[in-house]
Amino acid sequence: MKQLPDERTRFLLGDKAVRGVLVRGTDLVNEMRSKHGLGLLETLVLGHACLAATLLATTLKGDKDRLALRVECSGPIKGLVVEGNGAGEVRGYLRQNPIPLENPLESFDLAPFFGAGFLSVSTHLAGASQPFTGTIMLEHGNLALDLSQYFQTSEQTPTAIALSIQFDSEGLPVGAGGLLLQAMPGVEPVLMGELEECLAGLPSLGRYFAEGGEPEDLLAAQFGAFQPEILTTAPVLFACPCSREEISARLLTLPKEDLDELRSGPFPVETCCHYCNTTYLFDRQDMEALWQERIFSRHP
Question: In terms of domains, do 97 and 143 share one?
Answer: yes
User: In this structure, is residue 138 part of a structural domain?
Assistant: yes
User: In this structure, is residue 31 part of a structural domain?
Assistant: yes
Question: 238, 257, 276 — which closes off a domain?
Answer: 238
CA dist 92 and 97 (Å) reads 12
Question: In terms of domains, do 258 and 127 share one?
Answer: no
Other Cβ atoms within 10 Å of 300 Cβ, number: 7
CB within 8 Å of 271: residues ≥ 6 apart = 247, 251, 279, 280, 281, 282
Q: Domain count of the chain?
A: 2
pLDDT digit string, tens, across residues 159-188: 999 999 999 999 999 999 999 999 999 888
Question: In terms of domains, do 164 and 267 share one?
Answer: no
Question: In terms of domains, do 95 and 220 share one?
Answer: yes
User: In this structure, is residue 74 part of a structural domain?
Assistant: yes
pLDDT digit string, tens, across residues 17-41: 999 999 999 999 999 999 999 999 9
What's the gap between Cα 249 and its chain centre?
A: 26
User: In this structure, is residue 2 part of a structural domain?
Assistant: no
Give me the pLDDT at residue 267, please. Answer: 94
pLDDT digit string, tens, across residues 254-276: 998 999 899 888 999 999 999 99
User: In this structure, is residue 1 part of a structural domain?
Assistant: no
User: In this structure, is residue 47 part of a structural domain?
Assistant: yes
Question: In terms of domains, do 145 and 176 share one?
Answer: yes
CATH assignment at residue 213: 3.55.30.10
User: In this structure, is residue 260 part of a structural domain?
Assistant: yes
φ, ψ (nearest 5 deg) of residue 165: -130, 130
Give me the pLDDT at residue 104, please. Answer: 78
On the question of pLDDT at 16 being above 60, the answer is yes
Q: What's the whole-number mean pLDDT along residues 58-81?
A: 94
Give me the pLDDT at residue 289, please. Answer: 92
On the question of pLDDT at 2 being above 80, the answer is no
Question: In terms of domains, do 250 and 233 share one?
Answer: no
Give me the pLDDT at residue 1, please. Answer: 55
Give me the pLDDT at residue 300, please. Answer: 53
Question: In terms of domains, do 35 and 144 share one?
Answer: yes
CATH assignment at residue 285: 3.90.1280.10
Question: In terms of domains, do 161 and 53 share one?
Answer: yes
Question: In terms of domains, do 228 and 92 share one?
Answer: yes
Query: Where would I find the H helices in the chain?
Result: 26-36, 40-56, 111-114, 143-154, 189-200, 205-210, 215-223, 244-251, 256-262, 284-295
Enclosing domain of residue 275? 244-295
pLDDT digit string, tens, across residues 275-290: 999 999 999 999 999 9
pLDDT digit string, tens, across residues 77-112: 999 999 999 999 999 999 999 999 887 788 889 999
**215-223 vs 189-200: helix axis angle to the nearest 10?**
120
Question: In terms of domains, do 189 and 278 share one?
Answer: no
- Nearest 10 degrees: Cα torsion 61, 65, 67, 68: 180
User: In this structure, is residue 42 part of a structural domain?
Assistant: yes
pLDDT digit string, tens, across residues 116-145: 999 999 999 888 888 999 999 999 999 999
Question: In terms of domains, do 169 and 264 share one?
Answer: no
Question: In terms of domains, do 23 and 137 share one?
Answer: yes
pLDDT digit string, tens, across residues 192-225: 888 888 888 899 999 999 999 999 999 999 999 9
Question: 238, 257, 282 — which closes off a domain?
Answer: 238
Residue of 169, 176, 178 lying closest to 207 (CA atoms) = 176
